[in-house]
Amino acid sequence: MSLSFYLDQLLINSLEQQELPRAVEIYNSNPNYNILTNGEPTLTLAELSREYEDANQYPTGHWLAIRHEDKIIGISHILLENPNDQKPWIGLLLIDSSYQGKGYGKKAYLMLEEYFRSLDKKTVHIGVIASNQRALDFWGKLGFEQYRQVTASVGKLTQPVLCMEKFL
């Protein structure tokens, strides 16, 4: 199933495999995020390709491109129903560093939230690396609250992750 949302010059739709080189650029424009998840400032195309294929094994999972003026400025991965808890999850929302601070991340999230609401979902869940204060601030401002801390694999590292949810 292909997803597509459009609002105020922002389009979110499927991220195709041939677009992975641009997705790698987005990851690598965020070296601090890469260090938090993989212990290194850059991610390779081969590493992202494996992650892309692994995530595509979930029937309700979707890799998404966030586009502005026909340019991919961000990426996301969502699960409409996580097989572990049957709840919707946003696994990734990452904006190219040169587009951060301009409201694109917030707008993209609100578009995803509206989509979850249209499916009659009552909550949406995220996991945030406990040491990622910038992400905790971002999600907190959007109304997410922590309900549990776990130790989980994130990228190449195992570390404390805060499970957060927002009631829709």
pLDDT of the residue at 2? 74
What is the tens place of the pLDDT at every residue in 14-39? 999 999 999 999 999 999 999 999 99
Residue 1: pLDDT over 80: no
CB of 75 closer than 8 Å to CB of 64 = yes
Q: Could you tell me the strand order of the sheet in which 145-154 lies?
A: 4-7, 10-14, 61-68, 71-79, 89-95, 123-129, 157-167, 145-154
pLDDT band at residue 56, thresholds of 50, 70 and 90? confident
Residue 3: pLDDT over 90: no
Residue 111: pLDDT over 70: yes
- At 112, list the tokens: 């995803």
* Domain extents in the chain: 4-121
CB of 60 closer than 8 Å to CB of 79 = yes
Mean pLDDT of 55-63: 92
What is the tens place of the pLDDT at every residue in 132-157? 999 999 999 999 999 999 999 888 89
DSSP-derived letter for residue 92 is: E
CB of 128 closer than 8 Å to CB of 140 = no
| Class of CATH domain 4-121 | alpha beta
- At 120, list the tokens: 């009659």
Mean pLDDT of 101-119: 96
The whole-chain average pLDDT of the chain stands at 95
Cβ atoms within 10 A of the Cβ of 154, count? 17
Dihedral sign computed on CA atoms, order 39, 44, 50, 55 = positive
pLDDT band at residue 7, thresholds of 50, 70 and 90? confident
Task: Tell me which H or E stretch contains 74.
Answer: strand 71-79
- At 69, list the tokens: 């003026």
